């Protein structure tokens, strides 16, 4: 089987995530976000379980809806979702993606987009939630939530 597509570019490889990879992936994202923040003079953020729960809920819901967008199937906003999990801080913002790429490739894509880059580098952010849902076909729904 050819690894080059008709456009001459490499065909995407399915990035399979195992349950045992969860902590490694979350902390790799946290370390990468903090390196980007440090380069811009922003304080580091800490992984927050409540924000991660809100991110997991939204990743699952985007898969159910089969579309990447910031509103839940029940009409919920990112603010609604962080409140539902008991987060008492303030939402800074959310970055989402529908892809077959790794978390670091996804972070690089987010940094190319002004809105998600602003959320990730917001100097007021102090906490991060990060989760995903991977479908059987390999598609990954990534959600990153920043709070303060």
What's the pLDDT score for residue 87?
Answer: 98
Dump pLDDT digits (tens) for 78-111.
999 999 999 999 999 999 999 888 999 999 999 9
State how far the Cα of 26 lies from the Cα of 130, in Å rounded to an integer.
6
The most distant pair of C-alpha atoms in the chain lies apart, rounded to whole Å, by 52
Domains of the chain are: 28-147 (3.40.33.10)
State how far the Cα of 54 lies from the Cα of 79, in Å rounded to an integer.
10
Alpha helices in the chain (DSSP H): 22-39, 49-65, 78-84, 103-112, 114-121
Task: Report, as an integer, the average pLDDT of 122-143.
Answer: 95
Confidence band (pLDDT; 50, 70, 90) for 12? low
Dump pLDDT digits (tens) for 21-70.
888 999 999 999 999 999 999 999 999 999 999 999 999 999 998 878 88
């Amino acid at each position: 089987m050819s690894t080059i597509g008709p456009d001459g570019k490499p065909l995407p490889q399915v990035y399979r995530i195992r349950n045992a990879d969860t902590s490694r992936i979350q902390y790799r994202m946290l370390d990468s976000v903090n390196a980007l923040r440090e380069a811009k003079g922003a304080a580091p953020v800490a992984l927050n379980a409540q924000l991660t729960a809100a991110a997991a809920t939204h990743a699952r819901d985007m898969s159910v809806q089969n579309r990447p967008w910031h509103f839940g199937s029940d009409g919920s906003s990112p603010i609604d979702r962080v409140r539902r999990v008991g987060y008492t801080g303030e939402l800074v913002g959310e970055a989402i993606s529908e892809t077959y790429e790794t978390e670091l490739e996804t972070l690089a894509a987010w940094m190319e987009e002004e809105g998600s880059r602003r959320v990730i580098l917001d100097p007021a952010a102090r906490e991060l939630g990060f989760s995903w849902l991977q479908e059987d076909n390999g598609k990954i729904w990534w959600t990153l939530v920043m709070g303060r």
